[in-house]
Amino acid sequence: MKTFLILFSIFYCQNAALGQYSFVLNKKNVNIKNSDFEVISIKNDTKNNSKYFGELYINDKQKQKIGFEQSIEKSIENYYKLYNSGSKKVKVLVIIKHFAITETFINSNQISGNIKYDIEAYFVDNKDTTKFCNSRNSAKYNRTIQTSMLPNVEKQIIETLDNGLKYIIGYIKNSKGNLEAFATDSRVIIKPFYVKPAIDTVYYQQRKVNWADFNGPIRGGNQYGAAIFTSFGFDSKLSVENNIITAEITPKVYTDKNMSWAKSEVKTPYALAHEQLHFDICYLNTLRYLQKIKTLKENSRDDLISRIQYEYLEFYKTTHTMQAQYDDETNHSLVKHKQREWEEKIKSEIREIDLQKIFN
């Protein structure tokens, strides 16, 4: 790895009695600029809980430990925090998966060294921690055995740490518009209703139901002549683009043929119209649900989809209540003037909904 001019230094001192070198990170590289985030913490996940991260060859081919004055994570945390400037919304946790230096002899006076690091970066908020990038690299160097060459090793350690931080900075700058942590708005886009021909399903947008759609087994002992199974659901796709969290919702309103049933003696146009209105009620409440979620605003993808799912359950319950009220007031179609009132009511309320506002 190419070594460049470092405008700060790691001070190192030798503890002769213990044969150890300790380094102190105390100044930042002024060439590294960070204005997007702050490093709030470093976690050590290397299984190395000491402050030492390798050994260096000294005279007479003896190795001595090399490390920081403090623990690995504390030293790197203090160093990376030097690049925090002011209060920022976006907070980053760095996890050290690997950080070590190894040296081997090439010949009697030449040493080959290798510094390896592997770090992961996570966005941190009040609810969650989300991994967004990983930086893994190694820095190789050659030196002579003289201790006077140790400052070159020092530069390689600095450069390795700098490269890890620069990778995080670069990743964020290049991906900022697609990173949830930097999102400034959210929106819900309603896609056209899902309609796909299926043997056992009738989608509302396809057509009205007919008696051939009631294929389920008749429930024994049921006093009523027919029952239609209607439901609504949605598929979702979440993304972040141009700093906007987007939920794309594809709704569907359908009836299941194998769960809908009818006795042969009730298969009249009038009775079928009663069952069709159950389908219409399901469609009406789906439109109201879509109106509701269209206006949702949240700060994260998880919060946005949670609200969408919550509203779904609320409207599902509302739909069930309305279906029951419809059957109670019409006595399952037997009260004809109530049946007409419900038909006019549901058709009118469907017409009043502005579909362009939902699907634009």
Tens of pLDDT along 210-226?
999 999 998 766 778 89
Query: Looking at residue 95, what is its pLDDT?
Result: 96
Which of 122-126, 186-190, 305-309 is predicted with the least confidence, judged by mean pLDDT?
122-126
Q: Would you state the pLDDT for residue 18? A: 47
Q: What is the Cα–Cα distance from 360 to 177, expressed in whole angstroms?
A: 23
Q: Are 101 and 217 contained in the same domain?
A: no
Q: Indicate if 309 and 211 belong to the same structural domain.
A: yes
Residue 131, domain CATH: 3.40.50
Asked whether residue 103 is assigned to any structural domain, the reply reads yes
Give the range among 51-65, 154-168, 232-246, 260-274 with minimum mean pLDDT.
Answer: 51-65
Q: Are 252 and 119 within one domain?
A: no
The residue with greater pLDDT, 3 or 311, is: 311
Top pLDDT among 105 and 310 is at 310
C-alpha closest to that of 278 among 233, 327, 205: 327
Give yes or no: residues 160 and 200 share one domain: no
pLDDT at 193: 96
Same domain, 161 and 129: yes
Cα-only R_g, the chain = 34
End of a domain among 146, 161, 181?
Answer: 181
Beta strand pairing status for 244-256 and 185-190? parallel
Is 90 exceeded by the pLDDT of residue 297? Answer: yes
For residue 268, give the nearest of 340, 342, 214 by alpha carbon: 214
Average pLDDT over residues 132-145: 89
- pLDDT interval class at 16 (50, 70, 90): very low
Q: Does residue 5 sit within a domain?
A: no
Asked whether residue 327 falls in the same domain as residue 242, the answer is yes
- Per-residue pLDDT tens for 179-201? 999 999 999 999 999 998 889 99
Q: Are residues 176 and 188 in the same domain?
A: no
For 40, the domain range is 10-181
Mean pLDDT (the chain, rounded): 89
Task: Give yes or no for residue 14 having a pLDDT over 50.
Answer: no
Q: What is the DSSP letter of 192?
A: P
Residue with tokens 């190395």: 48
| Residues 58 and 92 sit within 8 Å (Cβ to Cβ) | no
